[in-house]
Amino acid sequence: MWKNFSLVLFLGLMAALPARALMVPAGDMLAGVRPGPDGKIDVLTVFAHEDDESIYGGGTLIKIKKDPRVRLHILCLCRGNWPEQAKDLGIEEDYLVSIRTQELLSAAAVLKADDVTHWNYDDLELAKLDQAKLLADILAVMNQTGAEIVITHDPAGITRNSDHIVCSRQATAAFSQSPAQRLYYPTLPAPIYKVAMYLERQEWQGDVVTPAEPTFDVDIRAERDLKRMACYEHASQISFSDLGTVVNILLKFPKEYWALGGKKD
């Protein structure tokens, strides 16, 4: 519990810093991206869990959807059956899955997503899958959606969650084989990132993972209320764990931070 308290305290202190202290240039996720033949810019998010799409970059997604050229596609790899949470809530895993599936759809409605693809992999099991098949399946979705922009976890997954890291690796590899033009990772300024990684330092037992440093930030002050709404559609996560406290602190930030993971012209 004290680690969670430390994280919340640290995030609160960082939220109070003036923007100039973070030293990240402002950017535009759509800058330089060529629309497809139909004049649309297809944006595909590839995240491991329900709620990742809203917490890590929901404000930016809401912002870019204001551009009529943008179509938003959401891919979630895991089904939301985290055993410890089901036990804490006193419900069966399949019941939790049904709840989290509906939460994802509700959050996607707030984000104005054009479609949602929800796979059925077990939480915390992505590292055990056939990685070549996982890559191929993600690549198939990229090609199917005609994505010009791909968004996924950064290489360390912010919390060093094993599903986040595997998702990032395979989505990054799939991007390199796809026609997509831009790959973006949601990330955090280094001081905040270090605390977030410490919070889950025992979960990833693989090789060294290096956090992505922010390339640019996006002002989401006009989108924060809707981002909050999208996050809170994930009530099973926000209302019944320490995550809700952390998200409330993150929602005080006027910006979201992004790293450019790949670029093709």
pTM of the full structure: 0.92
How would residue 153 be classed by pLDDT, with cut points 50, 70 and 90? Answer: very high
Find out whether 256 and 24 touch, Cβ atoms under 8 Å: no
CA dihedral 134→136→142→148, nearest 10 degrees, is: 110
The strands making up 182-187's β-sheet, listed across from edge to edge, are 115-121, 70-78, 41-47, 149-152, 182-187, 255-263, 216-219
C-alpha span between 238 and 228 (Å, rounded): 11
On the CB side of 176, CA atoms within 13 Å amount to 7
The pLDDT tens digits of the residues spanning 18-73 come to 555 567 999 999 999 999 999 999 999 999 999 999 999 999 999 999 999 999 99
Tell me the CATH number of domain 38-263, given options 3.10.20.600, 3.40.50.10320, 3.30.450.370, 1.10.4010.10.
Answer: 3.40.50.10320
- 91-98, long-range: CB < 8 A, 24+ apart: 96/236
Which has the higher per-residue pLDDT, 239 or 19?
Answer: 239
pLDDT for res 22:
64
Find out whether 150 and 179 touch, Cβ atoms under 8 Å: no
Domain ranges of the chain: 38-263
Which has the higher per-residue pLDDT, 4 or 81?
Answer: 81
Which run of H or of E encompasses 47?
strand 41-47
